[in-house]
Structure 1
Amino acid sequence: MPNHLANETSPYLLQHVDNPVDWYPWGEEALARARAEDRPILLSVGYSACHWCHVMAHESFEDAEVAAAMNRDFVNIKVDREERPDIDQIYQMALYMLTQRSGGWPLTLFLTPDQKPFFGGTYFPKKPRHGMPGFLDLLPRVADTYHIRGADIERQSASLLKSFANMLPSKGSSVPEFSEQALDEALAELGNRFDPVNGGFGDAPKFLHPTELEFCLRRHFATENGEALHMATYTLQKMAEGGIYDQLGGGFCRYSTDSYWHIPHFEKMLYDNGPLLRLYADAWIASGNPLFQQVVEETAAWVMREMQPQGRSETEGGYYSTLDADSENEEGKFYVWDRSQVAQVLLPEEYAIIAPHYGLVHSANFEQRHWNLLIADSLEKIAKDSDISVEEAREKLASARNKLFAAREMRVHPGRDEKILTSWNGLTIRGMARAGRVFAREEWVKSAALAVDFIRSTLWKNGRLLATYKDGTAHLNAYLDDHAFLLDGLLELMQAEFRQDDLDFAVALADVLLEQFEDKQAGGFFFTSHDHEKLIHRPKPSQDNATPSGNGVTAYALQRLGHLLGEFRYLEAAERTLGLFYPTISRYTGSCCSMLTALEQSLTPPQIIILRGDTNALAEWKNALRYCSPRTLVFALPLELVGLPPSLSKAAPENNAVNAWVCQGVKCLPEISDLLELLRFCEIQGKIGPLSIN
């Protein structure tokens, strides 16, 4: 019989609808039953693309014996961490407090009926294995503990709640004086963690860290710091050459299981690839590396081909969430190859190029019998060894890649989680818009605009934002990240294609942030709105995780919107946020890169360029400015736009020409009517042209 998940929209929850476990979604029905029957809650948190979530499901949740034990002693609640990051965030922190070990997914926690955790872990095998307790043995012991040791659990819960309260930053008695010291210390810390051989930060498993890499790039654009540029571009090159990048289809997997970027955990996440689009575009501006342009083109194509609805109306333009690591119940099966499979698809002369280039001449690198493709040898060396021109080798490589891609498309594809998350869409809107502007690709900009239109029409209801959409249903109060990432994406999209509706939407989002999320007394923004469901803790996050800190992005985006519109409410809220978290970001610099980006922008306000003129004439100016540093904002406003706010309502130039207004903070230049003169004041190709005030 189906359990209580049948009416959910989350693909992850629906994967468990036929389990013999009597699962409930998180909600009052389950919580009330736990209270009424004095049963502990078994909380299981995961997501649809999670490999070990699938393993635990097959071993335990689909097993009648395990399900019987769960149903007998617990109220069982299944949560999609992508739909409910508020719950996931709280209980990941709780697990660390209880065990002093980092969490992950699947997250398995046991709670009292009033939602207080008292025991937990991540993945548990059904039977004891590799030093891990068996889930079947664990369940009755946990149930007995709950009923026998209630007083101990209450004391532990009181201590845990106190620890939660102590995690919230407190407002100091004086306003801190901001300086660049934290920026310098963060760069030094990242330098200490940098892997000079393979790129990236730290050892295996090696994650992508787009927020840290973006910080490095911005320090280069701001100060021409060569070390910062090297850390960013060397890492991005190693990632692009490795097996963590899909060499045939574009897009990056979530992390590498080794230090070399060779073998990934094969799931692909929207929240990684959206920021990486922007990052590789900016790295191309700074370095001119053609590999970075290739990565942007292939990844943008992957986003539009596999992560955005095709052939539907414009109201179906949002981006999907994830691709699974598994297909046909095997991790990576869709992506890896045997030599014979490759040889059967290609001509001998094509195989002669592909084999050394992608490492097929070496030993199998995946499970000792398959090859995950990565760039093992340069095309220049292969061409020389084959006594052909580099251009001929490049043509054979392109032909071979097309054939392999077509052959791979015939395989069973990994599962796709087609729920549309507002926060991850915001990250991808920003990435697609930035990449589209840098490389003058209108189709990428249109893709981002379609996603915005979808969110505005489907997830924006009665002046409030919703967090998730699937199969015609939009629901769940949006979180801080949803508002912040979307506002940031809108500010990027408006530079690629200015639409009045997007500006209005941005202002509305900013106002909701101030009204529903800001802590007016202490400063900063809570992760959940003031009218959100009451949970055991209300976080106010400052440190970056797999996605940037919501407080960091909020402060950064509010600064940009505030400077653009001359709206001091936004600027003051950003300053209060930085003031509250300044001690934290000074202490944990390398973990607060998005907050540090907002600090950098507070110290040096962004350069804002407003172009006004005839649509056709504007195109030339806009095109000339597309290589501006990401520290500069450029808005091209056609003459036919009316009803603009005062800060954007510039006088129309004469004779269908174009005029430019350049401001930085409260300082503005006289209007500029000559494009070459304008270029002297802009940060182009990473060369800093300081704003001169005469």
Structure 2
Amino acid sequence: MRTTIPAAIAALALTASAQQAHQPEAKPMHTNRLTGETSPYLLQHAHNPVDWFPWGDEAFEEARRRDVPIFLSIGYSTCYWCHVMERESFESEATARVMNEHYVCVKVDREERPDVDDIYMAATQALTGRGGWPMSVWLEPESLRPFYAGTYFPPEQRHGMPAFTDVLLGISEAWKGDRRQEIIEQSQSLADAVRHQLEEREAPVVVGENEIMDAVSGLLRIYDSQWGGFGGAPKFPQPTYIEFLLAVRDSADESTRQAIDQSVRGTLDKMMIGGIRDHVGGGFHRYSVDAEWTVPHFEKMLYDQGQLLSVYAKAAAVYEDSEYERTAIEIADYVLREMTDESGAFYSAQDAEVDGKEGLNYLWLESELRDVLTEDESKLALDVYSVASGPNFQDPHHPDEPARNVLRFSERPEQTAARLGLSVDELHAKLDAVNAKLKSARDERKQPGLDDKILTSWNAIAIHGLASLGNVSGNQAYTDAAVRATDVILTTMRDGEGTLLRTARAGEAKTPAFFEDYAWLTAALIELHHASDDTKWLDKASSLAEEAESIFGDPDSGGFFDTRENQSDLFVRGQIIYDGAIPSATSVFLNALIDLSTLTGEQWFASRAARGLVATSGAIHRAPVGYVNSARGLYRALSSDIPLAQALQAAGAKQPAQSHENAESFQAVEVFADTERISLKPGEVETFRVKLQIADGYHIVAADPGPDAADMLEPLRVGVVGGTGVGAFADYPAGVSYRTEGVEGELLVYSSEVEFDIVLEAENERAGRPIVIVTFQACSDTECLQPQTVELDVAIDVTN
């Protein structure tokens, strides 16, 4: 659902006179309430002139006392555009005066409070059609409902974006003037849209092998056969896709297995040799800005390391590939060397920038390499790391900087060794010596910032990966590291009442854990059981799963809530099951329940897994690629003793709605796009056209269905899922009148066929792999089918 801000408020936000940005000068030190926080992101803002509050009752009560809106800014410590907005606006004395005078300003670390981030991201996307970080949201103070939102705002009008102070002053004027009621109504409308998105559950449908094959064919369809990966630029590793394909390959027919192997190996190979991998220091950067995996967004996230560690370890075993195992080992060694605290727990992330420059620590001039290496070593490095081909990185934000090199292979090491007349072992020995010198030189440079908070779920992801590697490689050191970190989490991340906690830093643990923390920790304990064959980890996993059910289980739907009951600072209790950069907590927990059922033989785990799959069945059927980790759970359930068929029957699950003589192939609506690939530049838009072909005897509900439309009918909508940073808008045509006997009022619909344009726009901070979707509901004169969402087979490349 997309909600439109009242025109009067929008106009005021865009036209109020802007305060002039304060020019950089020596400023006195400021101190605000964030100095008492533990989050590195919040501490980065502790000396802004903005009078920041942390999220909590003190801020809410102050806004109510002053009768002013709340300005909520959400980000994270390694977010590039968060740093930019801080430098441009939050460090400005003039901007801070406007913020402090007209608002109570609140900062949230999205990694500490994913629940807050999820709710207001849903609001931002509903209102604007896009999302990203920094997220900027305006809330009414009584119920914390949002009424206006965006992401990054520049200090002056730029590229079609309003100046931040214009927005601040315009909204404040509307709040203080005679438009307060419009704002309250807007907040209610937007809150209802968020509730609809986060709370509404799809009716259960019978699912099985068809959904598994739909997921496989969907992934193979979007596989980039030239460069690996799924979809276009920016490219994210998407380990969840690979986990699914590795799971289903053994039962696939020969041709499907070959296609799976090509996509899995092609992706793992291209990432392994590409610039997204840190060849000198180990580990992987967050994503590649290009389709070739050459230039990364340079931040390093713990959750990426853990998932890729697991995937490369598993692929090493499946394909007996020593290079995959070497890659996994380098990830593990990097995490243990640079992302581990004294206790053995793991830090969260390393920043992308140094001195405001993207990737500066990781980039090389040819002369810098020659200064560090001998002549023979330089010759090897310039060849193997593609430096001889010329620079491949130019900082778009600092065009006066010299072009530099992201180090990357052009081919697998076996091919390089053969070309140079070396054995693979000889090549690696030479490169190890080169990398040791380069790492030593790199360590002398100014280092990127470290987010040293401990997150339970992200630690569990890393534990899971280390245990997988220990199991595959037989190297006890990695299993021992997983055990050490697990002991830290289990002993220090509980409060005095035994409540599992989400986050810790500098010896202080806080915030009751979310479902994500429980799900991943359960999965990690199971993997540790596999690696160590110690049943105590299985016992702990069983107990934790039962605890999670008591806190987050939904007895009505059989699904799971992401948050605890009765959280007074949230206006909705959501159940998010879509898989993003981290698979959904529900999907992780479903697979853990299936593991526990197999390992313990206890029927409760099997029955609970079945009920959870029933609750997600509608989503799996509708968009199996979007819910691919739940689809992996479905695949495993179909080949195990999980009583899924009985659970579906008990829930009254229906066969997927079809009403045609040739039901197996019938589709009431077919969706066609006039392109297979769109290239976007930040701040620019691109348009493509879609056509919906509607079967005879059917119609679909129009985008504007009219005032008499029933609330349960789903209007035509386009959107973006699976990522942020790309917005989608549609120029919907008007519907035609439809009336039927026995139903009062008029419904506006489309029949036969409908065509319209979809406009895509790229924005600042991107995450995930954005997929354009079209949602519609088809009806005949006698029945309405279930709403359907189609993922368009249109690759989105975002270029600088």
Q: Which residue is equivalent to 1:640?
A: none
Which ranges in structure 2 are unaligned for 5 or more consecutive residues?
Answer: 1-29, 395-401, 643-800
2:520 paired with 1:520: no
Distance 1:96 1:511 in 2: 34
- State the TM-score, normalized to the length of structure 2: 0.73
Q: Which residue is equivalent to 2:350?
A: 323
Instruction: Tell me if the contact between 2:299 and 2:352 (Cα under 8 Å) persists in the aligned partners.
Output: yes
Q: Which residue is equivalent to 2:382?
A: 355
C-alpha distance 385-602 of structure 1, shift in aligned 2 (>3 A): closer
Q: Which residue is equivalent to 1:603?
A: 638
Q: Which residue is equivalent to 2:163?
A: 134
Q: Which residue is equivalent to 2:189?
A: 159
Within 5 A, what are the aligned runs for 1:148-547?
148=177, 149-167=179-197, 168-170=199-201, 172=203, 176-223=205-252, 225-309=257-341, 312=342, 316-367=343-394, 369-376=403-410, 392-461=426-495, 462-547=497-582
Task: Name whichever of 377-386 and 454-463 sits farther off.
Answer: 377-386
Instruction: Tell me if the contact between 2:77 and 2:351 (Cα under 8 Å) persists in the aligned partners.
Output: yes
Distance 1:20 1:414 in 2: 24
Q: Which residue is equivalent to 2:59?
A: 30
Q: Which amino acid aligns with 2:47?
A: D
Within 5 A, what are the aligned runs for 1:631-650?
none
Q: Which residue is equivalent to 2:145?
A: 116
Q: Which residue is equivalent to 1:580?
A: 615
Q: Which residue is equivalent to 2:123?
A: 94
Q: Which residue is equivalent to 1:42?
A: 71
Within 5 A, what are the aligned runs for 1:44-123?
44-101=73-130, 103-113=131-141, 114-123=143-152
Distance 2:539 2:148 in 1: 47
SS in 1 for 2:625: helix
C-alpha distance 226-516 of structure 1, shift in aligned 2 (>3 A): same
Q: After TM superposition, which residue ranges in structure 1, 4 or more long, deviate above 4 angstroms?
A: 377-394
C-alpha distance 188-383 of structure 1, shift in aligned 2 (>3 A): closer
Instruction: Tell me if the contact between 1:356 and 1:377 (Cα under 8 Å) persists in the aligned partners.
Output: no
Instruction: Tell me if the contact between 1:254 and 1:264 (Cα under 8 Å) persists in the aligned partners.
Output: yes
2:589 paired with 1:561: no
Distance 2:415 2:586 in 1: 48
Instruction: Tell me if the contact between 2:202 and 2:618 (Cα under 8 Å) persists in the aligned partners.
Output: no
Instruction: Tell me if the contact between 1:326 and 1:332 (Cα under 8 Å) persists in the aligned partners.
Output: yes
Q: Report Cα offsets for 1:301-336 as digits up to 9, x if no partner.
A: 001001112xx4xxx221110001112332111100
Instruction: Tell me if the contact between 2:456 and 2:517 (Cα under 8 Å) persists in the aligned partners.
Output: yes
Q: Which has the higher contact order (CA 8 A, sep 6+)?
A: 2
Distance 1:379 1:497 in 2: 32
SS in 1 for 2:587: helix
C-alpha distance 580-122 of structure 1, shift in aligned 2 (>3 A): same
Q: Which amino acid aligns with 1:340?
A: S
Q: Which amino acid aligns with 1:454?
A: V
SS in 2 for 1:120: strand
Which ranges in structure 1 are unaligned for 5 or more consecutive residues?
Answer: 608-694
Cα displacement (A) at 1:394 = 4.3
Cα displacement (A) at 1:384 = 6.3
C-alpha distance 529-385 of structure 1, shift in aligned 2 (>3 A): closer
Distance 2:416 2:161 in 1: 48
Distance 2:518 2:440 in 1: 39
Q: Which amino acid aligns with 1:242?
A: G
Q: Which amino acid aligns with 1:325?
A: A
Q: Which amino acid aligns with 1:110?
A: W
Q: Which amino acid aligns with 1:156?
A: Q
Distance 1:237 1:533 in 2: 48
Cα displacement (A) at 1:580 = 1.4
Distance 2:275 2:631 in 1: 31
Q: Which amino acid aligns with 1:236?
A: L
Distance 1:541 1:209 in 2: 18
C-alpha distance 603-356 of structure 1, shift in aligned 2 (>3 A): same
Instruction: Tell me if the contact between 2:232 and 2:291 (Cα under 8 Å) persists in the aligned partners.
Output: yes
Distance 1:562 1:392 in 2: 47
Distance 1:491 1:377 in 2: 36
Cα displacement (A) at 1:381 = 6.1
C-alpha distance 529-397 of structure 1, shift in aligned 2 (>3 A): same
SS in 1 for 2:387: coil
Cα displacement (A) at 1:388 = 6.2
Distance 2:120 2:281 in 1: 36
Distance 1:170 1:33 in 2: 36
Q: Which amino acid aligns with 2:187?
A: S
Cα displacement (A) at 1:297 = 1.1
Cα displacement (A) at 1:406 = 1.7
SS in 2 for 1:589: coil
Cα displacement (A) at 1:232 = 1.5
Distance 1:420 1:394 in 2: 34
Distance 1:504 1:577 in 2: 22
Q: Report Cα offsets for 1:622-669 as digits up to 9, x if no partner.
A: xxxxxxxxxxxxxxxxxxxxxxxxxxxxxxxxxxxxxxxxxxxxxxxx
SS in 2 for 1:591: coil
Instruction: Tell me if the contact between 2:134 and 2:152 (Cα under 8 Å) persists in the aligned partners.
Output: yes
SS in 2 for 1:110: strand
Task: Name whichever of 490-499 and 474-483 sits farther off.
Answer: 490-499
Instruction: Tell me if the contact between 1:49 and 1:325 (Cα under 8 Å) persists in the aligned partners.
Output: yes
C-alpha distance 532-562 of structure 1, shift in aligned 2 (>3 A): farther
Q: Which residue is equivalent to 1:611?
A: none
C-alpha distance 214-524 of structure 1, shift in aligned 2 (>3 A): same
Cα displacement (A) at 1:522 = 1.6
Cα displacement (A) at 1:497 = 1.2
User: Percent of aligned pairs with the same residue?
Assistant: 40
C-alpha distance 502-441 of structure 1, shift in aligned 2 (>3 A): same
Distance 2:456 2:304 in 1: 15
Cα displacement (A) at 1:176 = 4.0
SS in 2 for 1:551: helix
C-alpha distance 514-377 of structure 1, shift in aligned 2 (>3 A): closer
Q: Report Cα offsets for 1:17-74 as digits up to 9, x if no partner.
A: 0000000000000011111211111100011111111111111111101101100111
Q: Report Cα offsets for 1:434-470 as digits up to 9, x if no partner.
A: 1111001111111111111001110134342100010
Q: Which amino acid aligns with 1:302?
A: Y
Q: Which amino acid aligns with 2:432?
A: A
Instruction: Tell me if the contact between 2:137 and 2:150 (Cα under 8 Å) persists in the aligned partners.
Output: yes
C-alpha distance 491-6 of structure 1, shift in aligned 2 (>3 A): same
Q: Report Cα offsets for 1:605-627 as digits up to 9, x if no partner.
A: 289xxxxxxxxxxxxxxxxxxxx
Say which structure is richer in helix.
1
Instruction: Tell me if the contact between 1:66 and 1:136 (Cα under 8 Å) persists in the aligned partners.
Output: yes
SS in 2 for 1:66: helix
Instruction: Tell me if the contact between 1:463 and 1:508 (Cα under 8 Å) persists in the aligned partners.
Output: no
